[in-house]
Every structure is written in C-alpha cells, then in structure tokens.
C-alpha cells in the first residue's frame, strides 16, 4: 500500500454555536428566579446595562436631548475618519427609548406605605424552639450548658447524633449528668425529640400520650419491620393475639411521627414555587400571563455611555470599541430576554388551547400530548419547546403544575382515541379510595375494571402506576 501527502479541498457544513446563541438558549431554559439571578450577574459584568426606572428615565432623556442640542451648536464635528470607522446610526437605535419595542408602563406615583405588620418574622428552627424550652426548664447553669450542647447535636429530624458517653467525654462531666439533662429534653415539644433510634422516638411519643399498652411497646421494640410489610396474620400467630389487635396497634403507630423535627423551619428549605406562567379565566376565556414583571428586572442601556457613541465627541477609538462590544452584548441580552418571554407565551397559550377540558374539569380530562404536536402548532423546533417548558411552572384554576406535566403518554380506549396516563392515574386513585378495605382490589381486578370501561391496561402497568402514586399493595391495604 502506497502512502503519501497531498492537499485536498473539501466543502463541508458545520453548525457553530456562537456565544450569543448559547446565551439565548441558556436564558430560554431558565426559570423566573434563575433568570433574575442571571440578570444580576450580567449587571455586574456589563457597565452599559442598568435597571430601567421609567419616571427618572424620561427626565434624563429630555435633559440629555437639550444638552446634545447645545453641544451641536458649540462644538465642531469630530474627525471624519473616526466617523466613517464607526458609521452606525445610533440615533435611530436609541430613538425607541424601550430598546426592544416594549412600551413604557406608567408607574403608580402613589407610594405604598409599609408598616411593621407587613413583614413576617422568620419562623423558629427546631434548635430555637428547644433552646426556648430549655430556658424555661428547671436546670442550673451547668445543666444549661450541657443542654445547649445536646440541642446542638440534634439534627433537623429531631434525632440525637452523638451518644451520651461521647458528649460526657467532650464536656468533661459524668455521663449521669448528661442523661439527666437529656431526660429533661425528652419532655420537650415536639414529643420524641432527642431520641437516638426510631424505636426510642416512638416509645417517647407513646409515653407522652400516656398510653399503657404492652402489645404496642412490644411491636415497636421487636416487630416494626413486620408491621411495615403488612404481615398482620403472621404477627398475630407469633404473639398469640387476634389479628384485629395487630390492626389496632398499626392504626396507633400511623398516628405517631417518625421524624418529629421535620415540621420546623430550616434555612435551606424551599417552601414556595413561583409560577412562570399564570392562567386566569375571564368570563369564558382563559388569559395567559407571563409572570416575569415582578421577578425579572427591566433592562435598558446606560445613558452615560450613549454619549460615547454619539456624534461630535472626542473619545478615542479604543474606548469606542470597548463600548461598542459591551453595547452589542447588552442588546443581545435584552432581545434574548424578550424572545424568551414571547416563546414562553406562545407555548403556554398553545397548551391552554389544547388542554381546555383539563382546565375545566380536572386531571381526569387531561389529553395525551407530545412535544412534536406543540412544536408544529407554534412553528418551533421540538428542542426549543422542551427548553421553554423545562424548570418552569404554570398556575391554573386546577392548581400549580410543572409545564412538563401536560406532556404525557396515553393508552388506547374503545372509542379509538387515547387516554392520558395522568388521567388513568387519577381514575386509579379514585378506584382504590372507594374500594372495600376488607376486600381490596388486586392489580388484575383493577385491569379488568379499566377494560370494562373501554381502556386496555395490563396488570403490570397497573402495578407500575400504583407504585408511582405511592399506593401500597393489597396486603397492606387490607383491614381485618
């Protein structure tokens, strides 16, 4: 085989991702809160960007116009060569004060009066709650120090993470003193706090309820796993009691909290969802609102830097080149944000048109839908629709849902149409809620009931949907 070197000319096509295109794609898939943080970062990096303040901006523009007219009368034109080098009609660009064609909104001049009642204080954490009770307890100064150390070693679920022996060794005190203070903490609210194991936590709650039940304590100490698996019959035979007694003990256990500290505030908790799109029903029509006015700052170009690119100034070419590059970045950012808003509106409006029965009647009327159908209607690529709906939530009259919730697969029914998987799950939940607890329905029977209603679904699919809904199997649902 002969080898050698040569020169060949080839013509190929490649898709090159420019920085601006990457930025537009990134902005599209950001949620409202993420977009707010992204804009804050861009405001720090780009000096030409600033938050738009409508009323002062109008005054500044009028003042700037007067100054520009006076400058034109007094100053001579700049160098022609520099003017040709940066021959950009910036006056036409800045003629629209909104920069991207968004009309200015008049602000309410009436300032809102805020009082202390308008602010909500931060709820107490578990540590704060326990420390307050410790201050009220009958302990001396030394016990107070030991108690604060013990509370500091209780996790967010209410469990003690360090043994009493280790705490006594660290504090250089006898173990008996640590146990005495720990017994005081065990009497605090919430019941069960400060326990080292699940069994101890449940026993403390039983003692707080003043329940003297030997069978209950025996089940907690030895048979928690069996009762979690629903082995009531085997437990009744092993303990020599009626199966109804095991059922009674299981009902009591369901009233106890295995994590007593989880209901308290934690600084890292995210408790609220901010919807990116709001759907409201006005008369007989549904109105789609993109919820970015409250969380997404409105951007504009800094008026000070506009003079650098104006006519009749004496700035050097290096300064103009820097300002021009930052201006292009700022302009692209503003347009990308506006394009995100328009794309999100188009996709959300399409979802509302396709899922009106869901908005009227609930999850049972949700239609099967995929990205391709929405992309064809709004004339966008599937990947664009996917990015526009990722990490975003929509508030509807039926509740707040993730936008991906509306894209679900379906199963064929007897009428030749399709039923959404979410609708089947809703019907499955209602079917199990209405079943006879003494004779619960197995997966095969549920499959037959769906088939009688015109929906073909296999037993394995029923089991899959049941697991996704968190519904236990038949042996755990049966009551004796």
454 pLDDT more than 80: yes
Please report which confidence band the pLDDT of residue 117 belongs to, taking 50, 70 and 90 as the band edges: low
Q: Which helix (H) or strand (E) holds 411?
A: strand 410-412
Q: Tokens standing for 123?
A: 């709820």
Distance between CA atoms of 463 and 406, rounded to whole angstroms? Answer: 22
Domain coordinates in residue numbering, the chain: 126-254, 410-477
Q: How high is the pLDDT of residue 4?
A: 73
Question: Of 135-139, 217-221, 410-414, which range is least confident?
Answer: 410-414
- The residue-averaged pLDDT of 47-65 equals 57
Q: How high is the pLDDT of residue 269?
A: 61
Of residues 357 and 77, the one with the higher pLDDT is 357
Same fold for the pair 126-254 and 410-477: yes
Q: How high is the pLDDT of residue 366?
A: 87
- The residue-averaged pLDDT of 431-445 equals 89
Distance between CA atoms of 367 and 357, rounded to whole angstroms? Answer: 8
Residue 65, phi then psi, degrees to nearest 5: -65, -40
User: For 410-477, which CATH superfamily applies?
Assistant: Homeodomain-like (1.10.10.60)
Residue 222, phi then psi, degrees to nearest 5: -125, -25
Distance between CA atoms of 271 and 369, rounded to whole angstroms? Answer: 30
Please state the pTM of the whole predicted model: 0.64
Chosen CATH of 126-254 out of 1.10.10.1330, 3.40.50.2300, 3.40.50.1220, 1.20.120.1730: 1.10.10.1330
Q: What is the pLDDT of residues 72-116, one digit of tens each?
A: 444 444 444 444 444 445 445 554 444 444 444 444 444 455 565
Paired with 51 in beta bridges are 299
Q: How high is the pLDDT of residue 43?
A: 87
């Amino acid at each position: 085989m002969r080898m050698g070197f040569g020169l060949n000319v080839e013509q190929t096509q490649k898709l090159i991702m420019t920085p601006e295109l990457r930025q537009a794609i990134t902005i599209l898939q950001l949620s409202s809160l993420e977009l707010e943080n992204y804009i804050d970062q861009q405001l720090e990096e780009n000096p030409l960007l600033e938050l738009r303040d409508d009323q002062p901006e109008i005054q500044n523009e009028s003042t700037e116009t007067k100054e520009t007219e006076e400058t034109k009368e007094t100053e001579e034109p700049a160098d022609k060569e520099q003017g040709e080098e940066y021959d950009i009609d910036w006056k036409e660009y800045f003629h629209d004060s909104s920069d991207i064609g968004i009309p200015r909104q008049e602000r309410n001049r009436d300032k809102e009066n805020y009082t202390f009642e308008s602010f909500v204080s931060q709820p107490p954490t578990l540590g704060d709650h326990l420390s307050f009770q410790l201050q009220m307890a009958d302990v001396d100064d030394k016990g107070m120090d030991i108690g604060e150390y013990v509370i500091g070693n209780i996790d967010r679920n209410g469990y003690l993470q360090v043994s009493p022996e280790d705490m006594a060794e660290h504090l250089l005190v006898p173990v008996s003193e640590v146990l005495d203070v720990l017994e005081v903490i065990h009497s605090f609210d919430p019941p069960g706090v400060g326990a080292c194991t699940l069994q101890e936590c449940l026993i403390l709650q039983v003692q707080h309820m003043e329940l003297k039940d030997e069978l209950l304590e025996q089940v907690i100490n030895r048979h928690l796993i069996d009762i979690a698996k629903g082995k009531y019959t085997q437990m009744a035979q092993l303990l020599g009691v009626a199966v109804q007694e095991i059922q009674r003990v299981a009902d009591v256990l369901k009233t106890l909290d295995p994590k007593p500290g989880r209901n308290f505030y934690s600084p890292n908790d995210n408790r609220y969802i901010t919807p990116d799109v709001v759907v409201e029903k006005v008369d007989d029509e549904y109105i789609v609102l993109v919820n970015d006015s409250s969380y997404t700052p409105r951007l504009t170009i800094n008026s000070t830097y506009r003079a650098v690119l104006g006519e009749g100034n004496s700035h050097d070419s290096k300064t103009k080149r820097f300002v021009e590059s930052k201006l292009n970045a700022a302009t692209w950012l503003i347009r990308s944000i506006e394009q995100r808003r328009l794309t999100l509106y188009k996709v959300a409006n399409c979802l509302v048109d396709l899922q009106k029965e869901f908005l009227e009647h609930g999850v049972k009327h949700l239609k099967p839908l995929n990205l391709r159908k929405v992309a064809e209607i709004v004339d966008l690529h599937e990947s664009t629709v996917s990015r526009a709906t990722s990490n975003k939530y929509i508030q509807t009259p039926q509740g707040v849902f993730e936008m991906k919730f509306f894209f679900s697969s379906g199963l064929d029914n007897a009428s030749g149409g399709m039923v959404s998987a979410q609708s089947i799950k809703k019907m499955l939940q209602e079917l199990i809620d209405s079943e006879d607890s003494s004779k619960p329905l197995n997966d095969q029977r549920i499959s037959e009931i769906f088939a009688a209603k015109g929906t073909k679904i296999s037993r394995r699919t029923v089991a899959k949907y049941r697991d996704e809904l968190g519904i236990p199997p038949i042996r755990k649902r049966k009551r004796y």
